[in-house]
Structures are given as C-alpha cells and as structure tokens.
Amino acid sequence: MVKILSRTPSWLSRPSPGQQVFQHDDHSNAQQTSELELSEGASRKLAHRGTELFVAVGNELRWSDLVLLQYEDENGQTQDGRKAYRVLKTPVSRPIRQLLVSTSGDFITIITSHTCHVGVLPASSHLGSGETTPLRMKCFQVGPTTHVLEQAPLVSALWHPLSSTGNCLVTVAKDACVRMWELDRDNRSTFDDPSLAVDLKKLANASDARADLSASKYGVSKGFSPDNVEMQVAAACFGGQGTNDEHGWSSMTLWVAMTEGDVYALCPFLPSKWRAPGSMLPSLTTSVVSKMRASNADNEVTEAERRVANQQTTWLAELDGQDAMVVPGPSEFETMEVYSRPERPGMVPKLQGPFYVTTEVDSGEITDIFVIAPRVDEDDVYDGSYEEVSTVEGLSVGIVCLATTNSKVHICLDIDGVEAEWLPSKRSRAFTFDDEDEGKDLLLFETLDLSTGAGRTDGCSTFTLSPRDREEVLVTTPAAVIHLDFKSWTSTLDDELTAPSAEGLSFRLGILLDAAQTGLTSLLGVPSDADTVVNTAIAVYDPINLGGIAILTSTPASPLMALLECSSNYPAHSYAPDDIMTALPAPEVRAPYQPAEAFYQISRALPHLIKNATEKHILGSDLKGQVRYSSATLQVMTEAHRILSAETHKLGLAAADLFRRCERMRSELADQVKRVHEIAGKVEGVVGGDDGDEEDGEERDDTQLALTGGAGAQAMEKRVEASRTRTAQLHDRVEGLRRKMASLGGKELSAKEKGFAAEVQRVSASLEAGGLETEAPTKPSALLHMDNSEQELNEHKQKEAGALVLRFGAVRALQEQLKSEVERVSNAKEDGEGEGTGGGGERAAGQADMFRMRKLEQVRELLERETALVEGVGERLKRLAGG
C-alpha cells in the first residue's frame, strides 16, 4: 500500500513564487483556454527531466526546478520581484496540449492540436544559472507538410523505449496514421520525413505485403471508408519500458486504442537501430524455438500458425547473424548492444486485432491505454545455465488498462499474448478459412469506478507510469489523481496460471476473481468548484532532495502535489522502543487550504460595461450624475446585475467553503480535546498507583490515589524511584553472579595448559574409542620400546592414538599377572602349612613366607599407586570436560 507523506507543500501554494509557475497571467485567457481544452481532450502540459519542471501555459513554455523552489522557500530567500520560472521561447503559436521529454533528455516534444515541434533542451547547468530572462530555444517542426491544420489532429506522441539514441519519436494521428521519426539534430531531413509511416486502416484490410500501406500525404484526396469512424484513435502506448524483467516482444509492441473500444497491436515496431536488453534475445530465442518445434511436431497446426513460426524463425536468424555494436549505456558503468532492424520478412508488421473484451460493458469512449508487460520466465530462458538467477516478480500475462470518459478503468488480461507477425509475401491462390484471422480476446478482470462524490465525472482520464513498481499505475481523472496497485492479486493469479496441475482450477479461479480487488488510494483531489481541465500527473523520483516521489498535477489556478514514500515494501510491525510514534495510528494527511481562485480574479466585464455606458452617455462621466429613467438605463442596470450576480455568487461559494472548513476544524478540535481529556483520565488512573504511604499496615488502592489531588504525581515519582532502586539491585546481582562465574572458571589457560587439555581430551577419546577392542601385548616390556629413526617416528605419529590404548592394556595385563601370582603363592602357603613337620623346615618356610609377604606388599603398593594415577587422570579429564 502506498504511503502519503505530505500534500501540496507551502512552497507551491499561494502566495509563494512556486505557484506562479503554473498560473496564467491573464485569467480571462485562462478560462477561454480551459474551455477549449475541455472540448479537445486530454491535457499533458507537465513534463520533467529529473527535478527540472517544464510547464505549458497557453502557448508559453516555462522552466523551473522543484529543488530550487523548495530551497528558496525553506531558506526564506525572496525573489525581489523576479519570476520563479524562466520562459523558453518557441515558434509555437497555438495553445500547447502535450509536453514530453525524450529518453535521452536532449529533446522536448511540444504538441498542439495539429502540429508537433521538437525543441533542443539546453543543459541543466545553463537553465539553472539563476537568470530569469527569456531564453530562445532551438526548435524544429516535425512533419511541416504532415502535421498541419489541414490534416488529422494529433492524438499521441511517444518516445520509443528501445531507441539506441533515445531520440526516436512516434506520432499517432486521429485518422490511424502512425509515423516514426528517427531524429538527429545534425540532419534536418530527419525532422521533415518519417523513417516509417503506415496507415492502420490500409494495414487492417491488406492481404499481403505488396499492398500500399503508406500513410496519407498532404494534398492527396482520400476516399470514404467505414473505418474512418470505427478506427478513430484515442490513445497509444508501448507494451513495455525496455527493462530486463519484461518479455522480449513487449517493448517492441505498439498498442493502439480506438475511441469506439477496439484495441490493436503492431509487433515488431522498431527503428532502424535499436538496443536489446540483456534478457531480450534469450527470451525471444526460447519463444521462437519452442513454437517452431511445436509446429513441426503437430500435424493439426494451421497454415497461418506455421507461417508465423517460419517468419519469426527467419527474423531471429537474421538477428543472430549480426555482430552487435556495443555502445555506452545510460551510466558510465553500463553498456548496451545495438542491432539493426532485420529486413526479412519485412519492416512493416501485421496489424493484430481487434482485441475484443469478453464481457459486454458500458464503457463509454476510450480516452487512454496503458499496458503492463508480462514478466520474463527466467527458468525457461536460462535453463539452469546460471547458478544464481534473480526472481522476477509479476504476472506471466500482460495487463491492459483502458480508461474511459465516465471515469472508469477496465483492467483486462492478455492471456494469449502478442508476438511478432507479418503479412504474407504474396496472397495464396486457394482461399482457406485460415486466411481470415480470428479476433483475439482480452479477458476483463475488473472494472474500477473512480468517480468521486464531488467534482466532474465525465472527461478524459489518463494514465501515468509509476516509478515505484511495475505493477502500479497512476490515473488522473477530472476529479482526482488515484493510485492503482495490482500486487494484491497478481502473485496469487500467477501461481494458478503457472500451476502444473489443472485439477480444481476453475473453482479456485472463481474464488480468486470474487475476492481479488485492486488497491485504490486517492492521492490528490481537485477542488469541487474547478470545472476546468486537470493536467495529467507526472511522477518525479528524488528521495534525496524531495524526500520521496513527488506526484504533481495542476489546474489553471494552482498546482497540486503529493509526496509518496519511495519504498513499496513496508515492515509488518515495528515496535522499536525509540520509535514509539510509529506504533500509533498516523493521522490522515490533508492538503493545506488553498484560497479559491474567485478571490483573486479581477472583474473585467463590469468595467467594460461601465466604459461602454459612459461613452454612450447613458451614465454620467463620473457616475454621480442624475440617473435617467429609460430603456437604455434599464438595460445597463440589468446587464450589470447579471455580471455582479455571477461574480458575487462565485465569491459566496468560496466564502461558504471557507466557512465549512472552519466549522469542521472547530468540531474536530473539540473532538480531539474530548479525547485528550479521556486519555488524561486513563493515564492519571494508571500512574496514580501506590504512593508508598502505609498507615496501620493498610495500603491505599490506585482508585483512591487517583481521586486525591497531588497524590498521582507523588505516586509516579515514588514508582519511578522504586523502579530505579530495583534496577540497581538487579544490576548488583548480575555483577555478583558475573564475578562468581569468573572465579569458578579460574584464570585464562596458558598455552601449555591448553595443549595439555587437548592431549587429555585426545587420550580420553582414544580410550573410549579403542580401549575395549584393542588387545594388549603379551609382554609389558613392549611399553619401553622406542626408536628415534624418522621412519619409526612417522609410524609412531600415525599410531599415536592406539599406542596409549596398548599401554593401558599392558598395565591391565600386568595387574592380572600379579594378581594370579599372589593367588598362586597364597595357595602354595596354605598347602605347605598342611604338609610340613620338621623345625628346620618350619624356619625355612617362615623365611620364605616373610620374603613372599614383602614382595606382595611391594606389588600392592605398585598396584595402588598405578590405580591412584589412573583415577587421578580420569577425574582431571572429567573436570576439564566439565569446565
């Protein structure tokens, strides 16, 4: 959802200098011009190059900069009577209807009702030098014998998104003639004759490429055709913006909408030199190759489908055979590949359409068209050749938006898609049903009614590209500027369209279509008393200087602006302690009050009437003479009353609007004061807790403390003090625990102790791993075998883990051997005492027993020492493992 930061700043409101940029110098001429524009159609009198602003007022072209206007207002710099804009002189004599800056920023298109001029824009540093004197701009008339008053009026002018220089202009006339101008400021002939001109009415009825498809020329008589009514162009646009996330055919497709509701497409519509984005050629190759394989494998493919596949293959083969010319891109770190337009199958594509809307709707007349290109399928394009492929968000089918005269927008889906098609080189002798193309359909997804309760609903609605996201668009209606967001349903719909299983698809799509709803946000509202034309909004992206995206439009009276947040992704929750205000509901952002234009309009009809009456001696020269009662005087008084009643009525409406605003502010202020009192009572009840004053062992509850006079503040202070004491106690406890843990852990181990600990861990692991499986050697003397040869040392390192196990086994074997020897000696002693009879034998036996006892005592001491050593090592291992 879009987030509005502010509306119509002070540096664009009256009486700031920024308001003068959009204001007519003569209010009467402004009213006449607006009435003329109201009958002619859409008005696009605003254009921009970065933050530079170009405004058409009548037949005058003005330049200004939004950053400079904001800077001068914030720093309190006055203009000292100077204008806040600079006039760019042009040879245009009729009111300007449309302005459009080229992609390269070198040219600006100036369009009247029938003529088209292209001006060479000076550098930004030259325009922003601080001078306010008028500057004569070098201009060229495009088509001096083509776009003239005797020919059909101009409807649209577009800069081609795939132009290698950014200076390829496409003009579309109301009589369905499309012309392409590849402009070069060093070659004047490029402004006189188009590089490609085609008449859509002829192209719709043509059966082969040999027919005459050229647009009508000046002085050539035209015959009658039923298409003269049904094919009156309302608007045109390209199907893409020339970015990497779009399907290959999109940016080279020209969409044309007729006033009666029909929609046509031309693909490919390219200049002689055009640039190819990085994903275009892989996307086209994947599409063409898959279609060619399908046509060869399927016997039921029609002849027309097979012809289209062969034509696309021929076109792509010639394109692959070219060596692309690498030229610098828009920035110094980018480059782009430039190709020549293939000559085969032809330079003029086939006219596809008309596209029919699948549902009958009362749409009125079409006023504008906008197309969102389908996203490129990177999985099919790259086919796993790239390890990391960025996920492109969007819908896999195109979205076609149609605006109407009754402030409705029809959102349609191009399910089949538009691909390159050409007319056959020659007409087939045998007529088949395949020769007649079936009409294509646009699936009507949703119809939006953008009419508001106030203001006009009938008029021209126009589209503006949103710089935030490719699935957003701005709509300018006669009463408002509205933001449309399609992201709420495109992802879900795309998952269903690309799902491999079709089971239950109709049921899920039915639920999706019932629940899907485009997000609507009203950005700007036109004053209800303004019955003049509203200029199509422009979007200026500048997060550094302006702080966001500036949506700017204007009426003949004043400009209107809304500042949007740049990012389209907002976090779900934000509970940062240092940003508590973000958790509170933000108030509605309102536009500041703009005084009605009626307060500033100068009455011209009444002084003119008085002047005429004075000259005819109907009234006295000083208006103080005696009034003569005559029919002439009555006529003058009646006419004066008519003029004064109309002007005072406008003043009364403006004053009434101001009175209503003041009353609304008073009621809102009273409501806010009431809410503040309620919140203050709740806060007092919460903070007026225990005041720490206990009498007779009884504590006072919060309600009683809240009702007392100053007990709340005292209780709050005591609670804060208790909280601080508690915090200090917890801090002391944490410090004590930390010191205790530090003392238990001891000092930091040295390098030798760390090595010994590692050795003990290794020994423990060796004993646990192989102590039960390794057999000890039969002789304990094997423990003493050591050899310092290099080979023996390497073998010892390799068997180091098992050597300790062998030694431990040898100790156990020695223990068992000594135990068995002790048992044997004990048994022999018992047998000797039972069999001995002589004294000498007794002394010998006694000496032998004492000797054996000493030996056994020594063996027991050795065993106890060995056992103690083993147990000590085990306990230390446990401590080290536990520490």
3 state SS of 423: coil
How confident is the model at residue 764, as a pLDDT?
74
Q: One-letter amino acid identity for 8?
A: T
Q: Is 601 exposed, middle or buried (0-12, 13-18, 19+ CB in 10 A)?
A: middle
How does residue 540 score in pLDDT terms, banded at 50, 70 and 90?
A: very high
How confident is the model at residue 783, as a pLDDT?
39
More confident residue, 341 or 689: 341
Tokens 């040295």 belong to which residue?
750
Residue in 462, 234, 211 with CA at minimum distance from that of residue 351: 211
Whether pLDDT at 666 is above 70: yes
Q: Each residue of 314-340: pLDDT tens digit?
A: 999 999 988 888 888 777 777 889 999
Whether pLDDT at 843 is above 70: no
Whether pLDDT at 860 is above 60: yes
- Average the pLDDT over 503-516 and give the result: 74
- Average the pLDDT over 530-555 and give the result: 87
How confident is the model at residue 823, as a pLDDT?
82
Q: Each residue of 165-215: pLDDT tens digit?
A: 889 999 999 999 999 999 998 899 999 999 999 999 989 888 887 887 888
How does residue 777 score in pLDDT terms, banded at 50, 70 and 90?
A: very low
Residue in 649, 543, 557 with CA at minimum distance from that of residue 600: 557
Q: What backbone torsions phi and psi does residue 563 show, to the nearest 5 degrees?
A: -105, 120
How confident is the model at residue 779, as a pLDDT?
45
Check if the beta carbon of residue 489 is closer than 8 Å to that of residue 497: no
3 state SS of 292: helix
Residues near 413 by Cβ (< 8 Å), separated by ≥ 6? 397, 398, 399, 400, 442, 443, 445
Give alpha helix (H) positions in 692-710.
702-707
How does residue 834 score in pLDDT terms, banded at 50, 70 and 90?
A: low
Instruction: Count the Cβ atoms, other than its own, within 10 Å of residue 232.
Output: 19
Q: For residues 597 and 647, what is the distance between their CA atoms, to the nearest angstrom?
A: 12
- Average the pLDDT over 271-275 and give the result: 93
Q: For residues 322 and 308, what is the distance between their CA atoms, to the nearest angstrom?
A: 22
- Average the pLDDT over 284-289 and give the result: 89
The tokens describing 692, both together, are 């720490």
Q: For residues 337 and 276, what is the distance between their CA atoms, to the nearest angstrom?
A: 6
Q: For residues 622 and 610, what is the distance between their CA atoms, to the nearest angstrom?
A: 11
**Looking at 74-115, which runs of residues are DSSP E strands?**
86-89, 98-101, 107-111
Q: For residues 300 and 438, what is the distance between their CA atoms, to the nearest angstrom?
A: 17
Whether pLDDT at 749 is above 90: no
How confident is the model at residue 784, as a pLDDT?
40
Q: Each residue of 88-126: pLDDT tens digit?
A: 999 998 999 999 999 888 999 999 999 999 999 999 888
Please, which contacts does 642-645 make with residues 24 or more away whose CB atoms are closer than 8 Å?
643/603, 643/605, 643/606, 643/609, 644/606
Whole-number mean pLDDT of the chain? Answer: 78
How does residue 303 score in pLDDT terms, banded at 50, 70 and 90?
A: confident
The helix or strand, by DSSP H or E, that contains position 257, with its residue range, turns out to be strand 254-258
Q: Each residue of 576-594: pLDDT tens digit?
A: 333 434 444 555 666 677 7
Rounded percentage of the chain residues whose pLDDT exceeds 90:
26
Residue in 492, 400, 484 with CA at minimum distance from that of residue 441: 400
Kindly give the pairing relationship between strand 98-101 and strand 107-111. antiparallel
The tokens describing 546, both together, are 């302006």
Whether pLDDT at 804 is above 70: no
How confident is the model at residue 709, as a pLDDT?
46
Residue in 466, 452, 496, 351 with CA at minimum distance from that of residue 401: 466
Indicate the domain borders of the chain.
159-377+392-449, 599-686, 702-745, 751-882
Q: One-letter amino acid identity for 621?
A: S
How confident is the model at residue 587, as a pLDDT?
59
Reported pTM: 0.71
Residues near 617 by Cβ (< 8 Å), separated by ≥ 6? none
How does residue 617 score in pLDDT terms, banded at 50, 70 and 90?
A: low
How confident is the model at residue 168, as a pLDDT?
94
How confident is the model at residue 220, as a pLDDT?
60
